Structure 1
Amino acid sequence: MFGVLAGALAVARRRFVVVQVTGPSMEPAYRSGDRVLVRRVAGSKLGRGQVVVFEAAAGGRWRTGPLPAPKDAKWLIKRVAALPGDPVPPAVNAPEGALVPAGRLVVIGDGPLSADSRHWGYLPADRVLGVVVRRLSPAPGPAAPEGS
């Protein structure tokens, strides 16, 4: 019985990650200090409207290669607004009629104070850690004004 439980726990730890939200970019859905459960999903398996966690760009540039361990990176949380092949939303700086390129996503925060695809363009889909499944614990007290 212990072996089955240990195996199930090992699979769950590889498939799920807990991330803490920092900043107001996803208010009111998620506030700074909230802890969320994230199911690891490849960027190619996402849907419009899903809330995703992804690796932040380092020095204004997206990294390449495998994602770092969850504890070793800065993670951002935003909502998927457009997938590859979709029209680019009007709020994003792109030529009229442009489509989201293959391997890229448009992500936008729910709150008015969000740095997102409206500021830095397309998100490489391979930088996505996963999809938010649910909030685990609400942030205590009012939201703290931190970075987004």
Structure 2
Amino acid sequence: MLVVIVALALSGGACLLWVRGRHLLVTVDGPSMEPAYAPGDRVLVRRVPFARVRRGQVVLVRRDPAQGTELVIKRAVAVPGDPVPRIGFPTLAETAVPAGKLLVVGDNRARSYDSRHHGYVPAERFVGVVVRSLPGR
């Protein structure tokens, strides 16, 4: 699922820098996270350290550079140390997710290109976690 980043417009330089450094306003584009998020939905993403990602959170990651430069929104289904789910991930040899890696999937698995297809998402491609939906489309 592709996303489009929109800059937050606030008054006051210091506040703007804090918001820009910590949060992103993201518009969902594509069906891979339906029904949780539909195309046109807006979400607030907070940049957090990779170590703070938890299983079940919706995350924003950079797509594998071989497939493009877009950002994608997916659900983290396994974080470092979690067992690798055998259903849907039969090609991954490890029994636990290695350090610095995530497994992510779209909620609409029939319409999602995710870790079931390309394997782990490395920590350096992690951007942040979705903290809330915003009104309006």
Bin the TM-score by the shorter chain: 0.7 to 0.9
Secondary structure at the residue paired with 2:65? coil
Tell me the CA shift for residue 50 of structure 1.
0.6
Aligned residue for 1:98? 95
Aligned-CA RMSD value: 2.0
Work out whether residues 41 and 128 of structure 1, in 8 Å CA contact, stay in contact via their aligned partners in 2. no
Please give the alpha-carbon distance, in whole angstroms, between the structure 2 residues aligned to 1:105 and 1:135. Answer: 23
1:118 paired residue among 116, 119, 122: 116
1:37 to 26, 41, 44: 44
SS state at 1:38 partner = strand
CA distance, structure 1, for counterparts of residue 108 and residue 128 of structure 2: 20
**Distance (whole Å) between structure 2 residues aligned to residue 135 and residue 108 of structure 1:** 19
User: What are the ranges of 5 or more consecutive residues in structure 1 without an aligned counterpart?
Assistant: 62-72, 140-148
Q: Distance in 2 between matches of 1:43 and 1:81?
A: 14
Q: Identity over the aligned pairs, expressed in percent? A: 50
The Cα of 1:9 is off from its aligned counterpart by: 2.7
Which protein, 1 or 2, shows the higher relative CO under an 8 Å CA cutoff with sep ≥ 6?
Answer: 1
The alignment status of 1:24 with 2:13, answered yes or no, reads no
Between structure 1 and structure 2, the one with the greater Rg is: 1
The partner residue of 1:108 within 105, 108, 113 is 105
Cα 1:7/1:44, change in 2 over 3 Å: same
* TM, length-normalised to structure 2: 0.81
Any unmatched runs of 5+ in structure 2? 1-11
Aligned 1:1-148 pairs, distance under 5 A: 5-60=12-67, 73-90=69-86, 91-93=88-90, 94-95=92-93, 98-112=95-109, 113-139=111-137
Please report how far the alpha carbon of residue 134 of structure 1 lies from its aligned counterpart in structure 2 after TM superposition: 1.2
Runs of 4+, deviation exceeding 2 Å = none
What is the aligned residue count?
Answer: 124
Give secondary structure in 1 for the equivalent of 2:117.
helix
